[in-house]
Structure 1
Amino acid sequence: MFLFKKKTDMVTASNALPGRDAPIVGAMTHFVNGNPVSLDLPEGMQQAMFGMGCFWGVERMFWQLDGVYSTMVGYSGGHTPNATYEEVCSGRTGHNEVVRVVYDPKIVTFDDLLKVFWEGHDPTQGMRQGNDMGTQYRSGIYVYCDEQRDVALETKAAFQAQLRAAGYGEITTEIVPAGPLYLAEEYHQQYLAKNPNGYCGIGGTGVVCPVGIAV
């Protein structure tokens, strides 16, 4: 019971692991589409960042969309700089497992991405997603501008009404400004393309989000 409590309680900055100055990985190539996996933002592209549970399955949802230039998994929302996967799993970094999506807004919109976000997981579960428990599995939208924040809040309200009608509880998704992203180790990037039979614990509620792309 003590370990469960530790895994689902958010660590404070003063109690977080110290991390390190240097990134644990550098730029990579996307295993699926061959585009760069880096923190740079190509001209004409926009970015979004989401936490929806284990980032292996989440990343696959987004790289399959037309107009997505690149996806990358990493750690964000916490305190420990350049954390490792083992450190994040300890619950002592405050980080969430996140996916950053670099996309062409002329082909796919932030609304489109939000529809995948809301319908792709259960945003009412707090510090868990399915059988995966801990602060690293919390639901989150990490926004890069006021417009993204406003649209995220609008879709949250619309989806909450649909969830409530279907018997679900309150949405626990955090909607906060995007902080630094620390890229995860190379073997995590596009994991389910490299390991087609790998674990994926992500599943939605079956409730349709009324905002975004046409149903």
Structure 2
Amino acid sequence: MLFGRFKNRVPSPDEALKGRPEPEYPVPERHTVLGTALQGPYPEGLEIADFGMGCFWGAERVFWTTDGVWTTLVGYQGGSTPNPTYEEVCSGLTGHTEVVRVVFDPSEISYEALLKRFWEAHDPTQGFRQGNDTGTQYRSAVYTHSPAQAATAEASRTAYQQVLTSSGLGEITTEILPATDRPFYPAEGYHQQYLDKNPGGYCGIGGTGVSCPIGVADFPEE
């Protein structure tokens, strides 16, 4: 079956589903927790960060509860199929991973602090898996929006790898790539702020228990 072929590798653009020129579904206008707009244009001075860290339901809650974050929304990124559906992404035939888009105020929280949140909230050593969730759509990823973000993300990966190695853990498998080459497609409305709408819903988020040695001064306490 095609699904089996792509459970453990990302399909090439020629192998991926063809997709569609427009999305098949609307996206809600407002964040159910923060009350802010889900899609841009965003207020001047805000910046965007994109993180893939397993199931996006729990990943989104990690960031909407973080001080300095203006809005969050979940979607699909890193693949080849334009405007994919959730079912298509889960098939492994689009190449996308589940991502949370974080719109933040850099005067209140640094990108470095967001990266610390990212690294510590999941296990970046698991490849095409996060906990019990398996498949390419659960891979760890950082999609950067500037050369400065890219340099910071690379430096943080190096720093975190050192402490993971000293703790006896494996190699980080996180892909760090420019967002400009990997369009973000918002997920269906029922996925947005899913754990606010379903407080007892599934959350696959779980870290390694190893602290990331970056952004300590800016990292918000819970």
**TM-superposed deviation, 1:151:** 0.5
Residue 155 of structure 2 corresponds to residue 154 of structure 1: yes
- Tell me which residue corresponds to 1:196: 199
Amino acid at match of 2:22: A
Amino acid at match of 1:199: Y
**TM-superposed deviation, 1:49:** 0.2
1:83-162, aligned counterparts within 5 Å? 83-162=84-163
CA contact (8 A) 1:139 1:173 kept: yes
* Separation in 1, partners of 2:86, 2:31: 19
* Separation in 2, partners of 1:6, 1:62: 30
Distance 1:5 1:92, change over 3 A: closer
- Could you tell me which of 168, 182, 186 is aligned with 2:185? 182
* Separation in 2, partners of 1:208, 1:199: 24
* Separation in 2, partners of 1:63, 1:108: 13
- Tell me which residue corresponds to 1:211: 214
Q: Deviations over 1:150-193 (max 9, x none)?
A: 11111111100100011111100000001211100000000001
Instruction: Quote the sequence identity (%).
Output: 57
- Tell me which residue corresponds to 1:50: 51
CA contact (8 A) 2:28 2:189 kept: no
- Tell me which residue corresponds to 2:80: 79
Q: Provide structure 1 residue ranges, at least 5 long, that are not aligned to the other structure.
A: none
**Would you say how many aligned residue pairs link Structure 1 and Structure 2?**
215
- Tell me which residue corresponds to 2:18: 18
* Separation in 1, partners of 2:30, 2:84: 21
Distance 1:2 1:18, change over 3 A: closer
**TM-superposed deviation, 1:27:** 5.0
Q: Provide structure 2 residue ranges, at least 5 long, that are not aligned to the other structure.
A: none
TM-score, normalisation: structure 2: 0.93
What CA RMSD, in Å, does the superposition of the two structures yield over aligned residues?
Answer: 1.5
Distance 1:73 1:2, change over 3 A: closer
Secondary structure at the aligned position of 1:15 is classed as coil
TM-score, normalisation: structure 1: 0.96
Amino acid at match of 1:12: S
Amino acid at match of 1:88: V
CA contact (8 A) 1:142 1:176 kept: yes
Amino acid at match of 1:86: E
* Separation in 2, partners of 1:39, 1:96: 21
Residue 137 of structure 2 corresponds to residue 172 of structure 1: no
Amino acid at match of 1:14: D
- Tell me which residue corresponds to 1:8: 8
Secondary structure at the aligned position of 1:162 is classed as helix
* Separation in 2, partners of 1:68, 1:3: 36
Secondary structure at the aligned position of 1:58 is classed as helix
CA contact (8 A) 1:52 1:140 kept: yes
